[in-house]
Amino acid sequence: MFPHLQIQKSSINLMAMIDEPLYPIAVLIDELKNEDIQLRLNSIRRLSTIARALGEERTRKELIPFLSENNDDEDEVLLAMAEELGVFIPYVGGVEHAHVLLPPLETLCTVEETCVRDKAVESLCRIGAQMKESDIVDWFIPAVKRLAAGEWFTARVSSCGLFHIAYPSAPDQLKAELRTIYGQLCQDDMPMVRRAAASTLGKFAATVEQSHLKTEIMSIFDDLTQDDQDSVRLLAVEGCAALGKLLEPQDCVAHILPVIVNFSQDKSWRVRYMVANQLYELCEAVGPEPTRADLVPAYVRLLRDNEAEVRIAAAGKVTKFCRILSPQLAIQHILPCVKELSSDSSQHVRSALASVIMGMAPVLGKDATIEQLLPIFLSLLKDEFPDVRLNIISKLDQVNQVIGIDLLSQSLLPAIVELAEDRHWRVRLAIIEYIPLLASQLGVGFFDDKLGALCKQWLEDKVFSIRDAAANNLKRLAEEFGPEWAMHHIIPQVLEKINNSHYLYRMTILQAISLLAPVMGAEITCQKLLPVVINSSKDRVPNIKFNVAKVLQSLIPILDQSVVEKTVRPCLVELSEDPDVDVRYYANQALQACDQMMVSS
């Protein structure tokens, strides 16, 4: 008799045994075999409920074999099953019975869909990490060996991700066998298997003893680096960084360095791209002298690569790479390439460079930054591609720390003012968000002269996001320079704009008032801001009127109770009788806030 039939027959009796909160078990088991995929999926996701109702012994003897047999399903269901089984140890009786979970997951490791296999491997690793050493030898390692010898390539691919769990618990004889099997997988006829072996080599190598690491693992690694498939070689690049951290510096120089230098000139641009991403990590592994002699020339080649993708990857790492070098080496070898990249034909290369180049300032020091980097910053700030300009603006503070605000303002401020009026609204938005930081660095006098007018000008921008950011910007400036400064330099100019003929701009001013009021305090709000809001309640546009109600509600906690009763409430009462439904709604909301304030006081 099949186990799943036993489950079905006994499921009706179980309904009486389980608590009400547990979903009726019979229904769940029926759903596991239902034609509707959504019902099957729901049932798989409630496997823990079924297991709790069945008990540990019946889960082991009936539910798990049932799942092992019913694995010919939609990928979505199998993925959910692989995920659930990974956390199933408590439901089968703890770690001493964890091995019963291996058969269904082993089967899932052989299916065609990659994401199902990956999840099954992940769950097997999670279970294997909790199993006793004796159980790993008796159950886990045989499962790994079966998968590694699988006729279909999917099983062999999955086995590669399990060796790092199996190896530490194995006795010496089994360890030798596992190393041999892994070596065979790295020479498999199927590129997919070799790719899987290359991508997990670092994890496996981390568990292997040093003596075998230098011999067998390095031999395996050498084979992978000479693979005829570029997809295998590029994964071997990742192995370079992982192995570099495991080996002694002198072994790293002997075994890994030549491979990386060759890879940096590989015929496949994808391999060179991976090298560009990983190179700075290898510099730390091999030490300063080999870096200077071998890796700097390799990096320079990558910065001048024919393929834009490789230059993008190399440019994105330029600051990290320079941090490893001495300033002299960076200026001598890397800066000439940076100058070339700043006028690269690909906008994406320039953008990648702009996102990191500011970080070079602290590395190179003040003089080199002023002489060499500032001209590059300025050329990138005038780049026709907005992302390049944005990336420079967002990191200006790193340069300010090195060269000081005077030089920064003289050289970069004209460019910033130009960008503040850029036709791309995202560029204008980035400048606005940077203004408070710039203001704190420049000081109040400089800010008033150069940037003050811009901040008010943005309140009448055509793009809502800019107007919204501009209102928030005024609040942050008022916080930075204080209410007295804001009273003279922001409030009068802002309040003037309430008479703008376009209602959207008038709404922005109302928003600015609600943001500025908490910073300005009760007295200024009552004298200067409140009259403007009250006056706007007579506006002919309903959107303005209900925004007046919202602003008044936000002002209630700031104002004295007497002002609320004499000025705010009458205005809200009038708005609550407005013909427009939205105006009435927000006015009533604000009136409720008035009443709550009265009660609490």
What residue type is 77 in one-letter code? V
pLDDT, tens only, 509-552: 889 888 888 888 888 888 888 888 888 888 888 898 888 999 88
In the numeric block, the tokens 């496949």 are attached to 268
**What is the predicted pLDDT for the residue at 3?**
43
pLDDT, tens only, 133-179: 888 888 888 888 888 888 888 889 988 888 888 888 878 888 888 88
Q: Which residues of 525-553 are buried (b: 16+ CB within 10 A; e: fewer)?
A: bbebbbebbeebbebeeebbbbbbbbbbb
What are the CA-CA distances from residue 42 to residues 144, 560, 562 (Å)? 30, 57, 60
**What is the predicted pLDDT for the residue at 25?**
54
In angstroms, the CA 188 to CA 181 distance is 10
**What is the predicted pLDDT for the residue at 76?**
81
pLDDT band, residue 19 (cuts 50/70/90): very low
Q: Is 329 exposed, middle or buried (0-12, 13-18, 19+ CB in 10 A)?
A: middle
Answer yes or no: is pLDDT of 468 > 60.
yes
Predicted TM-score (pTM) of the model is 0.64
Number of neighbouring beta carbons within 10 Å of residue 601: 7
- The residues near 5 (Cβ < 8 Å, ≥ 6 apart) are none
CB-facing half-sphere around the CA of 156: CA atoms within 13 A: 22
Phi-psi region of 248 (alpha: psi -120 to 50; beta: other; left: phi over 0): beta
Handedness of CA 463, 464, 470, 476 (dihedral sign): negative
In angstroms, the CA 340 to CA 303 distance is 9
Closest CA to 317 of 278, 346, 286, 345: 278
Q: Ranked by mean pLDDT, which of 215-224, 262-271, 421-430 comes out on top? A: 262-271
pLDDT band, residue 412 (cuts 50/70/90): low
pLDDT band, residue 407 (cuts 50/70/90): low
**What is the predicted pLDDT for the residue at 17?**
42
> How confident is the prediction for the chain on average, in pLDDT?
80
In angstroms, the CA 441 to CA 275 distance is 39
CA 67 to chain CA centroid, nearest Å? 36
Number of neighbouring beta carbons within 10 Å of residue 2: 11
Number of neighbouring beta carbons within 10 Å of residue 464: 12
In angstroms, the CA 571 to CA 235 distance is 70
**Do residues 154 and 111 lie in contact, with contact meaning Cβ atoms separated by under 8 Å?**
yes
Measured in residues, the chain has a length of 601
Please measure the distance between the N-terminal and C-terminal CA atoms of the chain and give it in whole angstroms.
77
What is the pLDDT averaged over residues 390-410? Answer: 68
In angstroms, the CA 295 to CA 316 distance is 17
Q: Give percent of the chain above pLDDT 70.
A: 89
DSSP string, 179-218: HHHHHHHTT-SSHHHHHHHHHHHHHHHTTS-HHHIIIIIH
